[in-house]
Amino acid sequence: MSMHAQPLAVGDGRRAIAFDARGDIALDAFLSEVRGVAATLPEARYAINLCDDRYRFLVAFCAVALRGQTTLLPPSRAPAAIEGVQRQHPDSYCIGDDCVSDGALPLLPQHHVRMPDILPRLDGPSPHIGGEALVAIGFTSGSTGCPKPNAKTWNSFRTSTAQNLAALQDLWPDGATPHIVATVPPQHMYGMELSVLLPLLGGAAVHGARPFFPGDVAAALRDARTHRLLVTTPVHLRALVESRVDLPALAAIVTATAPLPQALAAAAEALFGCEVREMFGSTETCVIARRRTAIEERWTPLPGVRVHPQPDGTLVHAAHLPAPVALADLVEVDGDGAFRLRGRQEDLLEIAGKRASLGDLTRCLLAVPGVEDGVVLQLDEREGNGVRRIAALVVAPMLDEASIMRVLRDSIDPVFLPRRLLRVDALPRNATGKLPRDELLRLLQRDMA
């Protein structure tokens, strides 16, 4: 990789890098604010970017990089997650606004720098940083264990963004500027790739907000003039479909972070009149493959990406990765390089000589009429015969446990039926729809207390 300095953002200074209900924000104006905020930052090695407003996140991210510092991306904005990252990186500060978690925080984190309401501007040359600069450390979600750090250089982000652009650019006309509205937070690696790096390095424009409710998503999309690209998750997409909200014409919908059911993809395409393109990746690898889930089962690797099955997972080779990365996902690769996902080694169950997967069991639970959400997991403790028990949490306001179990007995082998089934008002999904394992176990333990 080149050691030479590379631009923080590409394109003509007059092009739109962001937009909202008030109109476009030009690249030149954005870079002026980046220089202005960079001049105000404290001396440190790391910064935790907690900005909820996507445009302000973009400014802070680039300002931190311009100062030669590294942005830390905690797995969530929950106080415990922020404090954990701060303990691991003592030479750090937080930058953001007053509200810095998914719920209201009575106290701000330690070493907090508040972004000014009106961002300062500073004239100067076009910002460049070294290609080998460590610009971000992303942390895995913790859905399968403790969050783990993953370092990203500017050159690796430039290469992965070029791959993402190649995988998406057929969704809008040549030379057009896609206008992105994203429901996923920019702190998540998928959100970083599609709503931060694509505007910086791919010529896209992004809405400054992070809409949550269907009506808010529709309003944000209407702020875009044309070539609207909705970047979302299966959880948000299901809410949009079930609400039957009226969305303006879309170039496409892109989704990631969790498996997208084929039926949901097809329903979204029929309702919103555009392609739904699912992306596959991880914090460790960034996006590595895509598919049109409504009509495709196989995943097509992005340019320069190769996957190789291993006994306990998959080895990913890619131009943006300094070395092959091992994933826990099991794959079946065809001769043309496309692959099918076959679950995860840790999700495979073997009891009494029979096999199943937690993913398949969860799909059976979600197929029960009246079940709105649910998950099946295997507990850590073992019974007298050495078998780890299976439990389930379910959101089903109109059903009781007995009626749910009666339906499950028709589709699940008795040895894989949940020994514990807990009805809850809502599952503890994070901002991207993932379910941290420790939160699920905490719910189950609270019910036993």
Mark out the alpha helices in 290-425 (DSSP H runs): 358-366, 401-408
Instruction: Identify the pLDDT of residue 386.
Output: 62
Instruction: Identify the pLDDT of residue 26.
Output: 97
Instruction: Identify the pLDDT of residue 3.
Output: 54
Decide: 48 and 76 in contact? Cβ < 8 Å: no
Query: Mind listing the pLDDT tens digit for each residue in 394-416?
Result: 999 999 999 999 999 988 988 88
Instruction: Identify the pLDDT of residue 296.
Output: 96
Decide: 283 and 260 in contact? Cβ < 8 Å: no
Which token pair is 135?
């610009």
Torsion over CA: 54, 55, 56, 57 (sign): positive
The strand ranges marked E within 97-133 are: 112-114, 128-130
Q: What is the DSSP letter of 209?
A: S
Contacts of residue 103, defined as CB under 8 A and 6 or more positions apart, other chains included, come to: none
Instruction: Identify the pLDDT of residue 100.
Output: 43
Length of the chain: 449
Instruction: Identify the pLDDT of residue 241.
Output: 95
Instruction: Identify the pLDDT of residue 191.
Output: 94
CA distance 61 to 38: 10
Enumerate domains of the chain plus CATH numbers: 5-343 (3.40.50.12780), 352-448 (3.30.300.30)
What are the CA-CA distances from residue 320 to residues 66, 133, 159 (Å)? Answer: 21, 14, 5
Query: In one letter, which amino acid is 436?
Result: P
Instruction: Identify the pLDDT of residue 431.
Output: 76
Instruction: Identify the pLDDT of residue 143.
Output: 52
Decide: 253 and 240 in contact? Cβ < 8 Å: no
Query: Mind listing the pLDDT tens digit for each residue in 321-349?
Result: 999 999 988 899 999 999 999 877 777 78
Instruction: Identify the pLDDT of residue 98.
Output: 63
Segments of the chain scoring below 50 in pLDDT: 1-2, 99-107
CA distance 419 to 434: 23
